[in-house]
Structure 1
Amino acid sequence: MTEIISSVLQNLPFSTKIASVALRYPAPTCISVLTLSIWVAHRYIKSPWHKVPPGPIGLPIIGSALKFFDTFWLIKECPQYGDLVYLNVAGQPVVILNTQRVAVDLLERRAATNSGRPRLIVASELMCDDMLVGLESDTERWRRQRRAVHEGFTKSAVKRFHPALVEDAIRLAVSLSQDSSSFRQHYQHFACSTVLAVTYDRPLHGKPGDDALRVHIDTIVRKLVAAASPGAHLVELMPWMLRLPSWMAKWKRDALDAHHDAKQFFVGLLDEVDARDKQGMARPCLTSMLLQDLKRSHLTKLEAAWASGMMYSGGAETTTVTLTWWTLAMIAFPGAQRRAQSELDAVVGRGRLPSFADREHLPYTVALLREVLRWRMSLPLALPHSSNEDAWYEGMFIPKGTILLANLLPCNRDSAVYGNDADLFRPERHLDSEHGQLAPVHPATKNHGHVSFGFGRRNCVGQHVAEDTLFIAAATLLWAFEFSKARDEMGRERDIDTEGFDASGFTLRANHYDCSITPRFPEATSILTDEKELAATSRP
């Protein structure tokens, strides 16, 4: 009988055999199952992974990738899960930081372990030799490059760039007086010109080669942005593909060609600055400073060229977008515009243009700009940080290799910092209610009144230049022009959308709107024209 049963069992499927054995030996089977269950439960309880921050339940394989790439979800719904939100993005741990408190705790107080950068094989390693400061990983070279750029962009050091910024602000105002309907294009030209002036003393003032220069650098930046976009290249998910020879991988050939082009271009711009310096024909600029301090900063010429090249990719688009949001705020909140203009009339008058020397006497104008940067910023998320070790925060587990992202809009509307009306546009929040002067700001904002420049060692290294650029542009435009809603054929004001936005790229752009920009008083245009000619003749 036993032989018959054994013969039958041998011919049964494996799963059926197991069931048959379990039926024949119920007690040992129960003990084994119970032991296995206890072991699994023990492993689960002891594993830190079930203590990651709260977050949405993901889908099989892709996890919460769809939510991660949905800017509307990140801004509107993500904060509902808590101050820290965990997302499994196709196996990559991501933690979103929704308040200033947790962003400061993790990205500044723990900067030593949370200042890495997620690996970007194509955009950083292949296209930039891992030397573009904004994309570079946390290495000794990155620290040397960033330190050198930071020294050139401290709050006091950027004053050397003020003449160039003033000249470009005047040129912007003159362009608007001639064709206000193209204000977006004028803003873009202004942003590109100021960044090139500050970086290479090469403003876009109508010289031969200006158009070619801008097209070339825009092409380099566009390729970098495309390569850094999530899902752009399969090699980011399967790094072994990096070993493929170039003849087998078009993406690799394209990246190496882009690297060769960008390297030659940035080195060429650096050589031009070097030549003008030796001839005594250059105004102060970042590249000039880097060249003078190569030995002290321990940088090679190539590292300095890439450090300078980073500035355009990080500054031109964000400045353009910010000015577009600022203009929308001026027409959406005319009372704020009128108050700033009254302040400018009282301090500056109408016989001259505003200057940087006036800034300390224009608290409301400064507060207005701060509120625009808090209310709407150009980047929805700060640049990513990466953790280099397992860590715990308030009882929550943050695994090694986690991407840490500060969610800037919720951070800028943090009720713990700005009060229950944080969603409202109210420049007065930045002023002392008693004297009308600028009020002390929250420490997390680094004297800006907002956190749009990011946190920790990966914050915007050009933040003081950006702040000065936006101030002189805003003050000059408010002094010269009245901004109002556009009107249709029947003379009715056209509606504008202050809540919607376009997040199709890396930046957070205002939805399309039209506006009317007209001189505030008859002499404004002639004063602008005279100042433009005077600035042009005073350049070296």
Structure 2
Amino acid sequence: MALETVDPLWLSVSILAVSVFALVYLKRRRSAAPLPPGPPGWPIIGNLFDYPKEDLAKGLFELHKRYGPLVHLSIFGKSTISIGSFEAASDLLDKRSANYSDRPTLVIGDLTDIYHWNFPLMSYGPGWRARRRILHHELLPESIAKYRQYQMHVTHNLLRNLLASPKSFGKHLHQTFTAIAILVAYGLEPQGDDDKYVGMLRGLSIAADVCVPGKYLVESLPVLQHLPSWFPGAGFKQELAYVKRRMREITTGIWQAGKRHLEEGAENDSVLAAIVRNAAQLDPDAAAEQEEMGLGIATTIWTAGAGTTESGALVFFLAMALYPDVQKKAQEELDRVIGPSRLPDFSDRDSLPYINALVKEVLRWHVTTPTSLPHASLKDDIYNGYRIPAGSIVLPNLWAFAQDPEVYPDPSRFNPDRYLKDGQLNEEVRDPATIVFGFGRRICPGQHLAAASLFITCASVLHAFNITPPLDTNGKPMPMEAKFVNTSITSDPAKFECEITPRSPARAALIEQLVD
């Protein structure tokens, strides 16, 4: 029968029927696929008691040793998929990033409007993409060269402070990376611990207090958010309304301070300056929208960047005190390349392979965000025969990837030589940056700025100072060990002491003669 004699209506119905059958078949095939393996759960609460309470990354790693690279946990019907291998994380979060670039939705986040000033927590969509596009452009490798003046200035202040009061190195590091973040974001330079801008941004910690898991019943029973605030049991709405108002005051206040600084004639290369200058070319509505996004982008540079880079610098000081042989090799390279009459700068970076390897090892040896911020799946997916339901929380175990002995032999040892071959960086060894800065479309846009800050910090400090274990009352070195304090997302070195002394009077003089 010729095709032209077929009834068009019958042909359309046939095509529709085949399409429906194919969709039903694929849906049943997907739903028939098993979930990834995991511990058996209890009715209603699921795996509530199997979810690690103390050290999340190490606890999940123990489950991976039993169940494989993908582990499924269900808590009150909500699926969590833990990824225990770098290959699986790359397959899902990089190669299928369109499906795994969402974030879990927090009711508290909606009620406090936390997303407007911390956009990495935003759901995947046009608003997130627009903010990401702006920040990505400002933090490209070729873009961050304009921030080197800030990094050098702040690093030289760090050296002065270490020379004057070495016991307070933790405080000095906090000031250093807070200053870099505020200069890059707003073009404002903090003036010590009592600086008003630092105080304003510290006020954002109020959000951490309300986002504690389990603090508010509304997170488990979202229907409560629709109750009037005067209703018994809905008093949380007044508290969260205050938090929302206070966070808006803080983020708007420091943004306006940065704008006034710019309008008063201050020339700077901050992210705020770039956004304000671009907004001036737009119509009023578009300009207002651009600045509203900029407000959250600038705040994110501080909230997401200052603390994690500071933690990495603390890891560096701890490692140097524990591994004097590494410190000696780094200083030998610095002496050979830099010489005794000046301090390192960014032009030396390509000539210092061991320092670059040391920075890589700082990132790997202790991952400051062991499971990263959680991803969320947008649609059902099948991976290696297992079903990952839509809306699942997806956790890549960055700590496990960085401690993989197949990739990094003797992973608990701090060893920059693992990245070197014939005196140069060995590109065949997995760069820890591909782990610790995340995956896919959610990869940290500030990774190049963070790595540059760690490089100039490590190089400058080692060129000028020796870092050794603390001394007892008899002047003998005290034993040290690496200890860390974990939260639900971050892991930082526990408070420790070390001796920081100038390598020579000449090196101390280099610092004293600094003029910025």
Normalising by the smaller structure, the TM-score range is 0.7 to 0.9
Q: Does the Cα contact within 8 Å between 2:469 and 2:499 map onto a contact in 1? A: yes
1:226 matches 2:215: no
Q: Does the Cα contact within 8 Å between 2:200 and 2:254 map onto a contact in 1? A: no
Residue equivalent to 1:175: 161
Distance 1:449 1:47 in 2: 34
Residue equivalent to 2:271: 286
| Structure 1 pair 261–49 and aligned structure 2 pair: CA distance change class (3 A) | farther
Identity of aligned residues (%): 29
Residue equivalent to 1:211: 195
Residue equivalent to 1:269: 254
Q: Does the Cα contact within 8 Å between 2:57 and 2:399 map onto a contact in 1? A: no
Question: 1:507 Cα shift?
Answer: 1.6
Residue equivalent to 2:348: 358
Correspondence list, 1:418-433, <5 A: 418-431=407-420, 433=421
Distance 2:408 2:179 in 1: 38
Q: Does the Cα contact within 8 Å between 2:100 and 2:378 map onto a contact in 1? A: yes
Residue equivalent to 2:453: 469
> Can you list the C-alpha shifts for 1:305-363, whole angstroms capped at 9, x where unaligned?
11211111111221221111111110111111110111111111121111010010011
Residue equivalent to 2:402: 412
Residue equivalent to 1:343: 333
Residue equivalent to 2:220: 237
Distance 2:426 2:367 in 1: 21
- What CA RMSD, in Å, does the superposition of the two structures yield over aligned residues? 2.3
SS at 1:86's partner residue?
Answer: strand
SS at 2:177's partner residue?
Answer: helix
Distance 2:487 2:433 in 1: 27
Q: TM-score, normalised by structure 1?
A: 0.83
Q: TM-score, normalised by structure 2?
A: 0.87
Q: Read off the aligned partner of 2:365 and give its amino acid letter.
A: W
| Structure 1 pair 427–311 and aligned structure 2 pair: CA distance change class (3 A) | same
Distance 2:277 2:90 in 1: 35
Distance 1:301 1:323 in 2: 32
Q: Which of these residues, 94, 102, 106, is aligned with residue 120 of structure 1?
A: 106
Q: Does the Cα contact within 8 Å between 1:58 and 1:64 map onto a contact in 2? A: yes
| Structure 1 pair 105–133 and aligned structure 2 pair: CA distance change class (3 A) | same
1:511 matches 2:469: no
> Can you list the C-alpha shifts for 1:125-163, whole angstroms capped at 9, x where unaligned?
523365631111112011001110110011110111001
1:107 matches 2:93: yes
- Larger mean CA deviation between 378-387 and 261-270 belongs to 261-270
Q: Read off the aligned partner of 1:122 and give its amino acid letter.
A: I
Q: Does the Cα contact within 8 Å between 2:117 and 2:251 map onto a contact in 1? A: no
Question: 1:442 Cα shift?
Answer: 5.8
Residue equivalent to 1:189: 175
Q: Which of these residues, 291, 310, 331, is aligned with residue 301 of structure 1?
A: 291
Q: Which of these residues, 285, 310, 316, is aligned with residue 320 of structure 1?
A: 310
| Structure 1 pair 348–381 and aligned structure 2 pair: CA distance change class (3 A) | same
> Can you list the C-alpha shifts for 1:263-295, whole angstroms capped at 9, x where unaligned?
232223223333333343132111111222336
Residue equivalent to 1:491: 475
Question: 1:165 Cα shift?
Answer: 0.7
SS at 2:501's partner residue?
Answer: strand
Q: Read off the aligned partner of 2:221 and give its amino acid letter.
A: M
Q: Which of these residues, 42, 49, 53, is aligned with residue 70 of structure 1?
A: 53
Q: Does the Cα contact within 8 Å between 1:51 and 1:397 map onto a contact in 2? A: yes
Q: Read off the aligned partner of 1:223 and give its amino acid letter.
A: I
Correspondence list, 1:138-149, <5 A: 138-149=124-135
Say how many residue pairs are matched: 479
Q: Read off the aligned partner of 1:490 and give its amino acid letter.
A: N
Residue equivalent to 1:15: none
Q: Does the Cα contact within 8 Å between 1:124 and 1:132 map onto a contact in 2? A: no
Distance 1:529 1:450 in 2: 38
Q: Does the Cα contact within 8 Å between 1:84 and 1:95 map onto a contact in 2? A: yes
Residue equivalent to 1:521: 504
Q: Does the Cα contact within 8 Å between 1:84 and 1:96 map onto a contact in 2? A: yes
Correspondence list, 1:72-87, <5 A: 72=55, 74-75=57-58, 76-80=61-65, 81-87=67-73
SS at 1:293's partner residue?
Answer: helix
Q: Does the Cα contact within 8 Å between 2:100 and 2:377 map onto a contact in 1? A: yes
Distance 2:160 2:188 in 1: 20
| Structure 1 pair 113–329 and aligned structure 2 pair: CA distance change class (3 A) | same
Unmatched 5+ stretches in structure 1:
1-44, 536-540
Higher radius of gyration, 1 or 2 = 1
| Structure 1 pair 526–205 and aligned structure 2 pair: CA distance change class (3 A) | farther
Residue equivalent to 2:81: 95
Question: 1:429 Cα shift?
Answer: 1.4
Unmatched 5+ stretches in structure 2:
1-27
Distance 2:116 2:477 in 1: 51
| Structure 1 pair 363–71 and aligned structure 2 pair: CA distance change class (3 A) | farther
> Can you list the C-alpha shifts for 1:53-87, whole angstroms capped at 9, x where unaligned?
12223344433334434343632513313211111
- Larger mean CA deviation between 519-528 and 347-356 belongs to 519-528
Distance 1:442 1:150 in 2: 26
Residue equivalent to 1:437: 424
> Can you list the C-alpha shifts for 1:449-473, whole angstroms capped at 9, x where unaligned?
5511111111212111111111111
Q: Does the Cα contact within 8 Å between 1:485 and 1:493 map onto a contact in 2? A: yes
- Larger mean CA deviation between 468-477 and 76-85 belongs to 76-85
Question: 1:420 Cα shift?
Answer: 3.9
